[in-house]
Homo-oligomer: A and B are copies of this chain.
Amino acid sequence: MTIAAESRRLCVVLFDGFELLDVAGPLEIFGALPDRIQIEMVGPAKGAIRSAQGPQVVADRGYREASQPAIVLVPGGIGSRQLVADDTFLEWLRNWASSAELVTSVCTGSGVLAKAGLLDGYRATSNKRNFDWPKSQSDLVDWVPRARWVVDRNRWTSSGVAAGIDMAIALVAHLYGDKIATNLADRIEFEWHRDPSWDPFAVKNGLVPG
């Protein structure tokens, strides 16, 4: 088990219409490690950002004032459809995230990363009910239809919504060891899927044979 002494800054990219659980699921895990991971919420501007589900979450900083991230987390949600048409945002994201230690996404967030060029030449996955949408954002990505999450070098992309919790726990296991990760899963009474190839939703949505 490896314990890193230094603290890492995790920056979460909020936008109007982000999927609430794509953000809150991983943050429930990462937020339990305040000595190791500092959370910074970034958005179009400092202040409240409305989720696709209605409730608003607060951005600590605007995109242009965002700190240099160690870990980037891009959620999905219906608002991602607008983001991929925003060249100014995409250019900012590409420049800002490219030197991060880890670049991660939940659900259709991988479509945003793909459109920004941050997954060029990488294997990645996404939401299984709307898998064609992220695929349509880039043909330079090796899209994996059956996966709870995919790790390719320093890119971690998860399948839809709840899969982000499994990926976050796996990421904690990768960075800080299995014991800490298992303790966090047990603390929130979450049945952690440890196997990144576990994916009944790829079958349910007809992406792979049952």
Question: Which of A's residues lie within 8 Å of B, judged by CB?
Answer: 12, 19-21, 23-25, 27-28, 30-32, 34, 39, 41, 48, 51-58, 127-129, 159-163, 165, 186-191, 193, 200-201, 204
Contacts and interface: CB of A to CB of B under 8 A. Distances in A.
A131 to B, nearest CB: 11
A200 to B, nearest CB: 7
A165 B51 CA distance: 18
Contacts of A160: 187-189
Contact of A189 (B27, B28, B30, B163): B163
Which has the most chain B C-beta neighbours within 10 Å: A31, A34, A204?
A31
A165 B188 CA distance: 11
Contacts of A31: 20, 51-55
B55 A27 contact: yes
Contacts of A55: 12, 23-24, 27, 31, 39, 41, 57-58
Given A162-B188, A188-B161, A189-B159, A54 B25 contact: no
Nearest to A162: B190
27 contacts: A12-B55, A20-B28, A21-B24, A21-B188, A24-B24, A24-B25, A24-B55, A27-B54, A27-B55, A28-B53, A30-B53, A31-B51, A31-B53, A31-B54, A31-B55, A39-B55, A41-B55, A48-B48, A48-B58, A55-B57, A58-B58, A160-B187, A160-B188, A160-B189, A186-B201, A191-B191, A191-B200
